[in-house]
Structure 1
Amino acid sequence: MRIGAVSYLNTKPLIEGLAERRSDIDLIVDLPSRLADRLARGELDVALIPSIEFFQNPSYQIISDACIGCRGPVMSVKVLFRRPPAEVKTLALDEGSRTSAALSRILLAERFDVRPRLEPLPIGSGAADTKADAVLLIGDRAMHPVGETFVEEWDLGDVWCRWSELSFVFAMWVARPGVDLTGVDTLLSEARDRGVAKLEEIAHREYERKGITYETCLTYLRDNLYFYLGKRELAGLNLYYQHAAAMGLAPQGLVLPQEPLISRR
């Protein structure tokens, strides 16, 4: 079983002890966009992929009630504005995640009727490496000071949740067709439950290597992220899909799940 997980801090609670639970698991860690590509090529059987990638293939199946989501500010997904949002002409998009890129475009279009010209921001680059009017940063580096003053800053989790009054789901566990999934849903849910129970331990283990304080690390894992794919999360995922499809960022006509796999919170 080749399982692909995201390489960011936000994934650590979802994979706690996962590789040790079954000897036949090969846990592969990579960037979100690369995981999606590898799943599509058949190099992975199961992967924690960006939500927008789930929309691209109707044969994909959500296989767990574990996810990376938020019900408010998420801290690690930001758009930094050099000009007011209504005046943005260019938007640099972090190549690490396509879900946040689509979310940025949706919120600019829906809130300000703005459809900027897009520029790629290569993985490893920062805001200083582009002159774009607005810059999307994701993952661990979005949690660090950028050394520049911006006229406005969006925490995309906060902006979406306030605007939609629903949660946002950044990534979930998805399987490609033809994979024997016996026991995998339980395995992934149990890993998440272990991780959520050990957030202080994970924060102690990770904060120095991520270059943040222990308090910031723990707050992020405990208060900013939400790891359960419940009704509110699925409603947010459905709304996100509707807007993505309307903008041509996802195919039309998909039927997404409305009910959680397992009743949680």
Structure 2
Amino acid sequence: MHTPCTYPLRLGRIGYLNVLPIYHPLETGIIPHEFDIVAGPPAVLNNMMARGDLHVSATSSIEYGRHADDYLLVPDMAIGSRGPVMSVLLLSRRPVEELAGQTVLVSAETHTSAALLRLLFREYYRFPVSYVTGCATTQIAGPEAPEAFLAIGDEALRLRNHPDYPHVLDLGEAWRQWTGLPFIFGVWVVSRAAAAACRFSENPADLLRRARDWGEAHMDTILDLTLQGCPLTREELRVYYDGLVYHLGDEEQEGLRLFYSRLAASGDLARAPALAFFGA
């Protein structure tokens, strides 16, 4: 019998608009809880989970793929798309078919999207490109602006109509065209160590699903909040949120397994992990 956790429980929050429907009811007390919420970009949350600084977190899909032995998936919780995702974009000066031999700038904030981009170029478009890591917002304004760059999250929403980069590849749509399946960019995970050490005072899976369900039922409120300081119109935001997937159903799991199996086949993952769920 596990004893109750005596330390403060910490819940990781990706610092992007796309998770607002889930975290708004938690951060405002609409849905009470006992977690301390810690916000940051995906790569930072990945590192915090790996160190044990977080107990439950949104994390990039590839982080679970690399460290499935350390985590349990929160059932039916994900962030993904069934087509265009609008916030994971390759922006280019030239058509994607003409990027062979060019260098692509990749945001340091992303792991999953970078892996997907490499997979698409290697196995879908089938031509070589080189990659460098850096900040797109800074470098596109400098003297050595890249020929193409991968932008994610709020940066992608802000830069998607940049006049110097008229060619836009939506990675969520490219995956759907290639496989016919949804793409899961992020999942929620529970630390296996924390789950084994003690009993959570409240079920994090139930809490997150209740928050998600509240957000989906109150999208007008979410749209009002998102409009503050956002470069998109209300209708563009509605289309954006409508295109997102917040569930991890059978088809989403199939897409996630396929992503892992292709990364394992190419050597980018040591193996394709099984999907192990918290509470199962």
After TM superposition, the score normalised by the length of structure 1 is 0.89
Equivalent residue number for residue 251 of structure 2:
232
Q: Does the 8 Å CA contact 2:10/2:56 hold for their aligned counterparts? A: yes
Q: Does the 8 Å CA contact 1:105/1:115 hold for their aligned counterparts? A: no
Deviates more, 1:234-243 or 1:131-140: 131-140
Distance change in 2, residues 1:2/1:132 (3 Å)? same
1:163 aligns with 2:171: no
Equivalent residue number for residue 25 of structure 1:
35
Match of 2:20 among 12, 25, 40: 12
1:117 maps to a residue whose letter is S
Q: Distance in 2 between matches of 1:162 and 1:26?
A: 40
Equivalent residue number for residue 109 of structure 1:
122
Aligned length: 259
Q: Does the 8 Å CA contact 2:183/2:256 hold for their aligned counterparts? A: yes
Give the 5 Å matches for 1:206-217: 206-217=226-237
Equivalent residue number for residue 86 of structure 2:
75
Root-mean-square deviation (CA), in Å? 2.2
Match of 1:35 among 39, 45, 56: 45
Q: Does the 8 Å CA contact 1:97/1:138 hold for their aligned counterparts? A: yes
Q: Does the 8 Å CA contact 1:64/1:188 hold for their aligned counterparts? A: no
Post-superposition Cα deviations, 1:210-249, rounded to whole Å, max 9, x if no partner, equal 232222122211x211111101100000111112222332
Tell me the secondary structure at the aligned position of residue 192 of structure 1. Answer: helix
Equivalent residue number for residue 98 of structure 1:
111
**Shift, 1:209, TM fit:** 1.8
1:246 aligns with 2:265: yes
Post-superposition Cα deviations, 1:76-101, rounded to whole Å, max 9, x if no partner, equal 11112334434243111111211111
Q: Does the 8 Å CA contact 2:92/2:148 hold for their aligned counterparts? A: yes
Q: Does the 8 Å CA contact 2:92/2:165 hold for their aligned counterparts? A: no
1:173 aligns with 2:188: yes
Post-superposition Cα deviations, 1:105-143, rounded to whole Å, max 9, x if no partner, equal 101111222232210122753644554332101111212
Deviates more, 1:141-150 or 1:227-236: 141-150
Q: Distance in 2 between matches of 1:32 and 1:123?
A: 17
Q: Does the 8 Å CA contact 1:16/1:194 hold for their aligned counterparts? A: no
1:200 aligns with 2:220: yes
Post-superposition Cα deviations, 1:163-192, rounded to whole Å, max 9, x if no partner, equal 110001011110112223451111110000
**Shift, 1:261, TM fit:** 8.4
User: Which portions of structure 1, spanning 4 or more consecutive aligned residues, are displaced by more than 6 angstroms?
Assistant: 259-262
Q: What fraction of aligned residue pairs are identical, expressed as a percent?
A: 32
Distance change in 2, residues 1:123/1:84 (3 Å)? closer
**Shift, 1:17, TM fit:** 1.5
Q: Distance in 2 between matches of 1:142 and 1:212?
A: 11
Q: Distance in 2 between matches of 1:253 and 1:166?
A: 17
Deviates more, 1:172-181 or 1:99-108: 172-181
2:206 maps to a residue whose letter is T
Instruction: Give structure 2 stretches of 5+ with no counterpart.
Output: 1-8
Q: Does the 8 Å CA contact 1:88/1:133 hold for their aligned counterparts? A: no
Distance change in 2, residues 1:91/1:189 (3 Å)? same
